[in-house]
Amino acid sequence: NIIDVPCRPCYYRDSSGNCVYDQLGCGA
């Protein structure tokens, strides 16, 4: 199994598996 490494704080993983900055989820 491939372990999915969590994205950095304030980032989320999109449907393509990329870590994308999450403006809404980061202490707005």
Which tokens hold the place of 9? 């704080």
Q: What is the DSSP string of the chain?
A: ----PPPPTTEEE-TTS-EEE-STTS--
* Structural domains counted in the chain: 1
Structure confidence by residue, pLDDT tens digits, 1-28: 667 788 999 999 999 989 999 988 787 6
Reported pTM: 0.52
Q: Which of 6, 28, 3, 1 is nearest to 19 (CA)?
A: 6
Domain that holds residue 12: 1-27
- Dihedral of the alpha carbons of 8, 10, 16, 17, in degrees to the nearest 10: 20
pLDDT recorded at residue 26? 83
